[in-house]
Amino acid sequence: MENLNRLLLENVLPAHVAEHFLARNLKNEDLYHQSYDCVCVMFASIPDFKEFYTESDVNKEGLECLRLLNEIIADFDDLLSKPKFSGVEKIKTIGSTYMAATGLSAMPSQEHSLEPERQYMHIGTMVEFAFALGAKLDVINKHSFNDFKLRVGINHGPVIAGVIGAQKPQYDIWGNTVNVASRMDSTGILDKIQVTEETSNILQTLGYICTCRGVINVKGKGELQTFFVHTEMTKSLSQGNVAS
């Protein structure tokens, strides 16, 4: 039973968070929370899936559309098992939007002891994961004769992570960093990864090329200068420097 509990918990919570609950005889009202100084947050959307989805008799009331969406999300989830993406944590899906994060380590206090470049490596991992999602979607498009495009927004900064709920615990992250990452997606462009200026600066120190989009109006945040991550550079990096 203990092994089953562990398996179930690790399916819905990050491993180190599951361990937190398994290691103690915690009551339901106990709240798990953890503050992080540097987490990279990604929202990856398929905006045209909403137009594709139809509830018609021919389409068995949307069943086939849901089957395809399930296939897409399941294929995205498969990427999480790759060693190079072991640091990527899926947070949740909202419709056809996939939310994930990196930098949610078991010991956030260790962040400051790392060299600056190593401290920010997980931001590069998040970008590589975003491009892997795009590649997966391309394969699905070929098999299903569709032309879905991914729109991605990424931002990094401080967040609070926690588990909400007792009977059905939900791990989630909160903060301005998350809100801005979501806006980077919603104001983005199909087939591109949009990032904030701060995230762009970090990515360029890691060897990525970012091109300035310019200043855009972001709801609730005012005017922000944003950047697109250069795809060709990222692909060459993923083939050369990042182990499979």
Q: What is the DSSP string of 139-208?
A: HHHHHHT-----EEEEEEEEEEEEEE-SSS-EEEEESHHHHHHHHHHHT--TT-EEEEHHHHHHHHHTT-
Res. 76: pLDDT tops 50: yes
* Model confidence at 34: pLDDT above 60: yes
Give the other-Cβ count within 10 Å of 181's Cβ: 30
Q: Please list the active-site residues.
A: 183, 219
Which pLDDT value is given to residue 111? 61
Q: Report pLDDT for 26.
A: 53
> Per-residue pLDDT for 244 more than 70?
no
Reported confidence tier of residue 243, pLDDT bands at 50, 70, 90: very low
Give the pLDDT mean for 46-67: 75
Distance in angstroms (rounded) separating the CA atoms of residues 35 and 176: 13
Predicted confidence at residue 24, as pLDDT, reads 62
Cβ atoms within 10 Å, residue 135: 12
pTM: 0.85
Give pLDDT, residue 241: 45
pLDDT bucket at 70, cuts 50 / 70 / 90: very high
Secondary structure, 3-state, 8-26 = HHHHHCCHHHHHHHHHCCC
Q: For the chain, give the number of residues.
A: 244
| pLDDT value of position 199 | 98
Classified by CATH at the fold level, domain 31-107+114-233 comes out as Alpha-Beta Plaits (3.30.70)
Residue 53, pLDDT > 50, answer: yes
Q: Say if CB 13 and CB 155 are below 8 A apart.
A: no
Q: Which of 55-64, 193-202, 227-236 has the highest mean pLDDT?
A: 193-202
Question: Under a CB-based contact definition with an 8 Å cutoff, are residues 188 and 152 in contact?
Answer: yes
Q: Secondary structure of the chain: what % helix, strand, coil (to 5)?
A: 45, 25, 30
Please tell me the least confidently modeled range out of 47-51, 194-198, 234-238.
Answer: 234-238
Residue 190 CA to residue 217 CA, distance in Å, equals: 18
In this structure, what DSSP letter does residue 82 have? Answer: S
Mean pLDDT, the chain, whole residue set: 85
CA distances from 25 to 9, 63, 101, 166 (A): 14, 42, 28, 14
d(CA 157, CA 199): 9
List the Cα angle 219/223/228 in 5-degree steps. 95
Identify the residue with better confidence: 15 or 147.
147
Residue 222 has a pLDDT of 93
Is residue 16 predicted with pLDDT exceeding 90? no
Provide the pLDDT for residue 11: 67
Instruction: Return the pLDDT at 242.
Output: 44
More confident residue, 168 or 197: 197
